[in-house]
Amino acid sequence: MAKGKKFISPQAWFSMFYPKSWNEFEGGEDAFLFYNPSEWTGNFRISAYKGALGYGEECVRQELQDNSAATLVNVGNLKCAYSRETFEEENAYYTSHIWITGIGNMAFECSFTIPQGAPATEAEDIIASLEVRMDDLKYPPEIIPIRLSEIYQINESYEWVESTVKDMLKKDFQGTEADVLSMQKVIEQGNLNRKKRDAWLSLGIVLCVILSNEVDGMEWHTLIDGNREAPVLLHLPTGNWVDPMKLVWSKVRTGEVFDLPRIYQELTEGKGFNTPF
């Protein structure tokens, strides 16, 4: 597999690459799920666990000891305890391939559910790309494809702004350029606590939502920068990007006077963007 899309887990425990045609979906508690939504080739799930030094290798040994169906295999440079099981669902047969592997103090449980007889190479390529990110190492900032956690944050911000505009102004909110003025009126009414970071950040995020609706070539991504993991808006043709936090909350925190219509107008003119790393 070519490099594909990069995924860095929440809290930046690990990274991996998955196919460009795949997306992340809700995987259940403590699991991340990926598959191709346009042409299904299998569900890939991964769970990660952190322990003491050597925890990863110990989990592989334990799986080989406890699971008589597991065998030791190499996937890339990783040693894995591998097993599989076949099941029937709605008159079709599927196979779940399962790998337990470890790197240093981390263990991974990966599964790939596919039609019986189909190859598992896509999953093996993902597993081979796994890297553990060291706690004591400073990594350069990266912008990666949007993760589910940031999609949730964007949706929650939009819902809060929508309901706040309706409650305070008794107006509908459609997520269009005309709504920027309504957001400014919410600010001018003065009912927002200046210490409420999440509220101000939501205004910045929704300003970017409107920008993405009105301007071609804009796409949400995730910024990983030290301990900060946040949604940012990327302009695909240029690689320039907008940080919602800097649009509003950073100005509120320093006491700067601002108005959203002016900020929005500058964004449509290409001003206020960050350049590629």
**What is the C-alpha to C-alpha distance for residues 165 and 157, in angstroms, rounded to an integer?**
12
**What is the C-alpha to C-alpha distance for residues 206 and 201, in angstroms, rounded to an integer?**
9
Which two three-digit tokens encode residue 47?
């769970």
In the chain, domain spans = 5-137, 144-268
Close Cβ partners of 135 (under 8 Å, ≥ 6 residues apart): none
Give the CATH architecture of domain 144-268: Up-down Bundle (1.20)
3-state secondary structure at position 259: coil
pLDDT digit of tens for each residue in the chain (277 aa)? 558 999 999 999 999 999 999 999 998 888 999 999 999 999 999 999 999 999 999 999 999 999 999 999 999 999 999 999 999 999 999 999 999 999 999 999 999 999 999 999 999 999 999 999 998 899 999 999 999 999 999 999 999 999 999 999 999 999 999 999 999 999 998 778 888 999 999 999 999 999 999 999 999 999 999 999 999 999 999 999 999 999 999 999 998 888 999 999 999 999 999 999 9
**What is the C-alpha to C-alpha distance for residues 41 and 26, in angstroms, rounded to an integer?**
17
Cα distance between the two ends of the chain: 25
Close Cβ partners of 173 (under 8 Å, ≥ 6 residues apart): 161, 162, 165, 166, 179, 182
What pLDDT digit, counting tens, does each position of 176-213 carry?
999 999 999 999 987 788 889 999 999 999 999 999 99
**What is the C-alpha to C-alpha distance for residues 217 and 87, in angstroms, rounded to an integer?**
43
Class of the domain covering 5-137? alpha beta
